[in-house]
Amino acid sequence: MEKARIGQGSIFELDGVPSLKQAVPLALQHVVAMIVGCVTPALIVSGAVSGGGLNSADKVILVQAALFVSAISTLLQLFPIGKRKKFAIGAGLPVIMGVSFAYVPSMQAIAEGFGVATILGAQIVGGVVAIVVGVLVKKIRRFFPPLITGTVVFTIGLSLYPTAINYMAGGANSENYGSWQNWLVAIITLIVVTVLNHFGKGIFKLSSILIGIIVGYIVSAFFGMVSFASVAEAGIVQMPKLMHFGINFEISSCVAIGLLFGINSIQAIGDFSATTIGGMDREPHDNELQNGIVGYGVMNIIGAVFGGLPTATYSQNVGIVTTTKVINRCVLGLAAVILGVAGLIPKFSALLTTIPQCVLGGATVSVFASIAMTGMKLVTSEKMTYRNTSIVGLAAALGMGIAQASAALSSFPAWVTTIFGKSPVVIATLVAVLLNIILPKDKEEQQAAN
């Protein structure tokens, strides 16, 4: 990996080594902002596996892998392999990588039908797609303007709402699904998160979801919802396990996840751009975008071997960088090291798996709402002409509609249902891209293009 410049450096410089008393609190701020979002997709997927979900030991391993792979992915983006100004694996920009919610709807569908091994196999294919997108990013970027990426992100947010509601009710497979205790804990958690988001300041605002989960966790313990059996059984230190879940390639799953990787590769341009514009007062260079996306693809291929679910750039950490202007790579690298160490401690991972589903639901419903609204902001950054509203409306309608009535595809082969009927994101993406190519542009748009 490319080494940071030796010697003291300011936290407001990309290179150099700041003092620990400066770096540690800033690094912890990044960890607090993203750790819940990093492990929650693993918890959701582990519960979606057919047959009642993964056993407690496998659930711990999946959470461990999420933390470890997120750490390694972040370090690769911060300290690339190769020459930063030419070709490298990694952007060399101050970003944090973590397991992404964007893949959750499709991963749930695959977990229900085929298991975790098939998710990881599809992830390898998706990593290859990301590498191709990275190499060709300058040529294909024009097919994914904010209108299209915004529609996809908006659909992802909408598709996650049922997951949040089911979790708030206690989890669809739980014996006490829909009980008043589950709803009470979920609503208390949601209230804490919302209050801190709107009235909290500093670390309290940044860690609103974490604090909400802690409060909800304490309340749920009084209702007897918390069991520490898995923590007692877990070891103290354990290295990540290679191929623990295996790798399985299933064509329809590979298509569904591969398409999402293509979209998220383009979406990553937004996070890289926001980082450099907000924190470094410049646009990202073409080689930084290419290297960042290639690194994203490579690490997802490696991550699949370790059992880590798909990662992506974390927008909340981009927000911290642009707000604080702290762009030092060693600060963010220290955050990655903290994540990696946490991933090597099974007891810590096991503790995270004891969080009741109603608490996770109350904490994440606001996250899913934020994802949907982020997509809407991207959409409305372009003029809402009749053409553009048609693209967004039809893509979201067909995507959400078919996914919620997937039985309508029952007469088709099973692979059709897996690709198009389980997650709305695939259909929404295809419809939005095709309509954007086919529908005639308004005169103002044509003039702007010319």
pLDDT (tens digit, 9 = 90+) per residue, 366-380?
Answer: 877 877 887 888 888
Q: What per-residue confidence (pLDDT) applies to 137?
A: 83
pLDDT of residue 304: 95
- The listed range with the strongest mean pLDDT (58-62, 161-165, 299-303, 325-329) is 299-303
Mean pLDDT of 432-450: 75
Residue (of 174, 175, 165, 221) closest to 53 by Cα position: 174
Per-residue pLDDT, averaged over 370-395, amounts to 86
Over residues 419-443, mean pLDDT: 81
Beta-carbon contacts of 329 under 8 Å, excluding residues fewer than 6 positions away, are 4, 14, 15, 78, 79, 92, 94
pLDDT at 385 over 80: yes
pLDDT digits (tens, 9 = 90+) for 90-136: 989 999 999 988 888 889 889 988 999 999 999 999 999 999 999 98
Residue 9 has pLDDT above 70, yes or no: no
pLDDT at 269 over 70: yes
Look at residue 8 and tell me whether its pLDDT is greater than 70: no
Strands 88-89 and 81-82, sheet pairing: antiparallel
pLDDT at position 69, please?
A: 94
Q: How far apart are CA 212 and CA 220, in angstroms?
A: 12
- Provide mean pLDDT across the span 161-183: 83
User: 51-55, 185-189, 346-350: lowest mean pLDDT where?
Assistant: 51-55
Please report the DSSP string for 48-72 in residue order.
HSTTTS--HHHHHHHHHHHHHHHHH
pLDDT at 357 (0 to 100): 83
- The upper half-sphere exposure of residue 434, i.e. CA atoms within 13 Å in the direction of its Cβ, equals 8
Higher pLDDT, 360 or 329: 329
Q: Which pLDDT score is estimated for 84?
A: 63
Neighbouring residues of 277: CB distance < 8 A, sequence distance ≥ 6: 283, 322
The whole-model pTM stands at 0.76
CB atoms within 10 A of CB 40: 24
Rounded CA-CA distance 398/387 in Å is 16
Whole-number pLDDT of residue 333: 93
β-bridge mates for residue 99, sequence order: 311
Beta bridge partners of 311: 99
**What's the rounded mean pLDDT across residues 342-361?**
84
What is the model's pLDDT at position 372? 81
Q: List helix spans (H) across 200-328.
A: 203-206, 208-222, 229-233, 251-280, 286-305, 315-324
Per-residue pLDDT band at 347 (split at 50, 70, 90):
confident
Closest to 158 in 3D by CA, of 379, 410, 437: 379
Residue 449, pLDDT score: 56
pLDDT of residue 443: 66
Q: What is the pLDDT of residue 444?
A: 60
pLDDT exceeds cutoff 60 at 3: no
The pLDDT of 247-251, averaged and rounded, is 94
Is the CB of residue 73 less than 8 Å from the CB of residue 97? yes
Residue 6 is predicted with a pLDDT of 43
Q: pLDDT tens digit string along 199-244?
A: 888 767 767 777 888 899 999 999 888 888 777 777 788 888 889 9
Whether 5 shows a pLDDT value over 50: the answer reads no
Distance in angstroms (rounded) separating the CA atoms of residues 166 and 174: 10
Lowest mean pLDDT among 7-16, 55-64, 345-354: 7-16
Predicted pLDDT at 448 = 55
Residue 430 backbone dihedrals phi, psi, to 5 degrees: -60, -45
Phi then psi dihedrals of residue 98, to 5 deg: -160, 165
- pLDDT attached to residue 390: 92
Reported as a pLDDT band with limits 50, 70 and 90, residue 4 is very low
On the question of pLDDT at 165 being above 80, the answer is yes
For position 210, what pLDDT does the model report? 78
| Structure confidence at residue 450 (pLDDT) | 53
Residue 446 — very low, low, confident or very high, per pLDDT cuts 50/70/90? low
* 31-89: pLDDT as tens digits: 877 787 788 889 889 988 877 778 888 988 998 999 999 999 999 999 999 876 678 89
The residue ranking higher by pLDDT, 393 or 25, is 393
Phi, psi angles (nearest 5°) of residue 99: -60, 135
H-run or E-run covering 123: helix 116-135
- Percent of the chain surpassing pLDDT 90: 27
Q: Identify the sign of the CA torsion 290, 293, 296, 298.
A: negative
Q: What does pLDDT average to over the chain?
A: 84
Contact 2, 79 (CB under 8 A): yes
446 by DSSP, 3-state: which?
A: helix
